[in-house]
Structure 1
Amino acid sequence: MTTEPDDDGTTTTAGGTTSAGRAIVLDVIGLEPDHLDRGLAPNIADLVGEPARATLEPPFPAVTLPVQTTLATGRSPESHGDVSSGEYDREHDVAAFWERDRADRDRLWETASDAGLTTGVFCFQHLIDTTADVALTPSPIEDEDNNILEMNCWTNPDDFYDDLREELGHFPLHTYWGPGANEESSTWILDAASEAIERHDPDLLWIYVPHLDYDGLRHGSSDELDDAIGVVDDLVGEFIDGLRGDDRWDETVVNVVSEYGFHDVDTPVFPNRALRDAGLLSVMDDGEGGEEVDLGSSRAFAMVDHQVTHVYTDEGSVDDAREALAPLDGVERVLGGEGKVEYGVDHPSAGDLVLVAESSAWFQYYWWREESDAPYYATDMDIHAKPGFDPCELFFGDSGLASLDPTLVGGSHGRRDCEGFYGLGGPAAPASVPETVDARTVAPTLVDVLDIDVEMEFETDPL
């Protein structure tokens, strides 16, 4: 592969030396090398031989959006700016999850499309308005109170969801996240991807397969998770059988990647409670009898995301916030300026402080201590209203759809050591890969395998 060094030390891809005609990326969340070693995923093991399997080293934080953007851009969070699955708008004092625009952050499915390939992507984050030729992301029509009026998906082409609905029925949103989350959504996504292959024949297709994430978070290492591995392996096996039967199989490489693995956890940590006790976080009436955090009046606020927390402070309050948070049981490190550089999240979007949990701990966003003081959305499925990721939404609650019992959560991720799986299979795949693969290597390797010229600067060379 030919590369050209840039002033900042990165490399610009200028084409590859090996070529496949089609690349399929299966993002099987939570898959780990041990799952194949223990014989729990025979279909994936059959596809990806041992010399072509590796441990994936995710970026920090090893949570959904930072990892997805790293996989698709070949760059680290401190470069591409997705340092969390949420974003805090300092100017307007608003914290929001899953709502950031992709802006000018082109990912491989966009740049490869510009380079002349037909590209597709299913259910990755921030897909609305992507220029991928075939794309789908759930986008239900809601009223002003976030009640779903009609199930819908945003797609390229515009009428693609209408076609899918006729073939497969509506996207099963209630099984995609929440207490009813199960394999039905992964089945629908893979079936829709098969339809995309038949109708649009993409040269590069990225597919998000979420099923393992549910039981990884619910149960951690468990019989339930082992059963879920078998379920998703069967689904992947059926999808691969369909690929094997089409006329492009001989030119196909399949990249199986998992974003991250899980740690078993038993210690929920509440940084916003500690900030409130220290007089740094303020609350106000939410209008329905509960307490809402008052971001505008708070001197410090913690935006939690699994095992990582970004702490945003007013000028002059950083040391007070550190003093309140560092002693908490379950906090391993409090990263300041030098720590953020060390961990690769030194970006303006990052918190003034970044908390890293111990391997058996995770962060919950709660600032109240009595359930009667919880804000109205705490027991709802309301991922956009909550200023932090809430895995308790995977459990039915006593007084609402979502539980308020954080002790139910059995697994989490986000630390640098939440290693996942990487593998290449199919007739056009390389015969072997290194034992460990940096997540930043995935995009340049796909460019190399497909032998295309793209306008992207990568931080690593291909495998």
Structure 2
Amino acid sequence: MRLAVLNIVGLSKSLIGENCPGIRSFAEKHGVQSYTPAFPALTTTGQSSIITGSKPEQHGIVANGWYDRENAEVRFWKQSNHIVQGEKIWDTLRGQLRETMPEFTCAKLFWWYNMYSSADYTITPRPLYPADGSKFFDIHTQPMMMRDELKANLGPFPFPAFWGPAAGIASSEWIASSAKWVEEKHQPTLSLTYLPHLDYCLQKDGPDSPLVADQVRAIDHVVTDLIDYYESRGIRVMLLSEYGISAVHQPIHLNRLFRQKGWLSIKNELGRETLDCGGCKAFAIADHQIAHIYINDKAITREVRDLLEKTVGIDEIRLQNHPRSGDFIAIAKPDAWFTYYYWIDDQVAPDFARTIDIHRKPGYDPCELFVDPEIKFPKAKIAKFLVKKKLGIRGLLDVIPLDATLVKGSHGRDIVPDEEKPVFIGSSEKVEHAEDIHSAILKHFSP
């Protein structure tokens, strides 16, 4: 029997109730398990642990981004599947089923590290960046010819609904439609589909917000429709999530503390401050509730650790044995999270700080989900930018706030209450850790 795995980001037992009758019914029928997430409990780390059946120390995805020591550059949200070390589940299955199911194929839809994968059919968001500095929303597919066919049949991928202040259900709806499209065209043996919707409201408004109920109902409708669609074609369905979301109230600005100690190297670029990581004695790469601490001057290692241990909001310091990892990993308390901020005066913050720029920032920035409430007429400002863009005039869509207290939800910790743990639904195989899901999927295809 073929298998479809739906990754419903942010789903936990606490959300499986009256607002998601379809998912609740599926869970009552097939059983629901909560499991300890990968550490760190982050998108790319969790997905890579599931895909390879190994821990970050083996597959190398230590966070959504890290400091590349050799190139002295921060690399966030890269897309090549070659970055993930170890054998992928579709390659394992292709080898195991060579004799009994030589026609095996895998579709990997919007899971991360999806470019140049050995999976048969892939779709991933990928903007176009012409030489004039402009940016156009688009997707990347394998096979490449699928890209034009998809857009012709489904319309353009609604990129603003995938990330940013306009993030919403439209992106998950399009992804679900693309999953049906791939099924109808190619009938993959294993389909992996990523549905990001809950991530937005849970980080923006917090898991306790009354606004979450409508968003849960919205993703439940998408998921239930997909379950019905796959089951009508005789395809088994499994549901999973990578992490749950914790309510947070306390941002921690580690790089500002490091700056006060004289450990940062700051470069003035046209009146704006940028972080010169290669010249820093020590700095933090923040990613939700964890921060990798990289130390270039080993003489201050003990001093750095002492500061971390005394910093309000930090719960624990860990080590992670992989070259991409920092010298320390700081873990926030349950109600805290880490910013990447390093400037003291907002007037000299880098120009990208107030924009949606997931690659240039030396850390993850959930404030990209908001429009700055200090802007009096934000719609007019955005409209003006779009008109200038249409006319070929370059400019910044600088509408993102620098107020980290706006963020109400985060993740990254692996020690969380049961009701905040990620879930796995649709298999009788016991799952205690993220890597166990890999085994459960393999078991489905065992004779």
Is the pair's TM-score, using the shorter chain for normalization, greater than 0.5?
yes
Q: Which residue of 129, 132, 138 corresponds with 2:116?
A: 129
Gaps of 5+ in 1: 1-20, 453-463
Which amino acid counterpart does residue 106 of structure 1 have in structure 2? E
Q: Please point out which of 89, 108, 112 is paired with 2:89.
A: 108
2:3 aligned partner, one-letter code: A
Give the 3 Å change call, closer, same or farther, for CA 65–222 of structure 1 in structure 2: same
Match of 2:421 in 1: 420
Given the alignment of the two structures, is residue 63 of structure 1 paired with residue 58 of structure 2, yes or no? Answer: no
Checking the alignment, whether the CA contact within 8 Å between 2:256 and 2:342 is kept in structure 1 is yes
Matched-pair contact (CA < 8 Å) for 2:291–2:338: yes
Structure 1 residues 227, 76: closer, same or farther in 2, change over 3 A?
same
| Corresponding residue number in structure 1 for 2:436 | 441
Q: Does residue 1:233 correspond to 2:228, yes or no?
A: no
Letter in 1 for 2:108: V
Distance change >3 Å, CA 146–CA 258, structure 1 → 2: farther
RMSD after superposition? 1.8
CA contact (8 A) 1:87 1:95 kept: yes
- Aligned counterpart for 1:386 among listed residues 343, 347, 361: 361
Per-residue CA deviations over 1:124-164 (Å, capped at 9, x if unaligned) read 1111111211110111111357631x332111121112111
Code of the aligned partner of 1:28? I
Give the 5 Å matches for 1:29-428: 29-36=9-16, 38-49=17-28, 52-99=31-78, 101-103=80-82, 104-113=85-94, 115=97, 116=102, 117-144=104-131, 147-148=134-135, 150-220=136-206, 221-246=208-233, 249=234, 252-287=235-270, 289-314=271-296, 315-335=298-318, 340=319, 345-397=320-372, 398=374, 400-418=398-416, 419-425=420-426
Q: Which has the higher contact order (CA 8 A, sep 6+)?
A: 1
Counterpart CA distance in 1 for 2:281 and 2:201 is: 37
- Residue ranges of structure 2 left out of the alignment (5+ in a row): 376-397
- Deviation for aligned residue 1:69: 0.2
- Could you tell me how far 1:245 is from its partner in structure 2? 2.8
TM-score, scaled to structure 1: 0.85
TM-score by length of 2: 0.88
Q: Which residue of 1 aligns with 2:384?
A: none
Distance in structure 2 (CA, Å) of the matches to 1:144 and 1:85: 27
Percent of matched pairs sharing the same residue: 34
SS at 1:61's partner residue? coil
Closer/same/farther in 2, CA of residues 299 and 100 from structure 1, 3 Å limit: farther
Distance 1:208 1:145, change over 3 A: farther
Shift of 1:167: 1.4
**1:100-129, Cα deviation, whole Å (9 max, x unpaired):** 643253321343345541110111111111
Q: Secondary structure at the match of 1:437?
A: coil
- Equivalences, count: 411
The 4+ residue runs of structure 1 with deviation greater than 4 A are: none
Residue 253 of structure 1 and its aligned partner are, at CA, apart by 2.2
Would the aligned equivalents of 1:379 and 1:403 in 2 still touch at CA under 8 Å? Answer: yes
8 A contact 2:241–2:424 mirrored in 1? no
SS at match of 1:317: helix
Q: Please list the CA deviations of residues 299-336 of structure 1 after superposition, one character each: whole Å capped at 9, or x if unmatched.
A: 0010000000000002222112223332222111122x
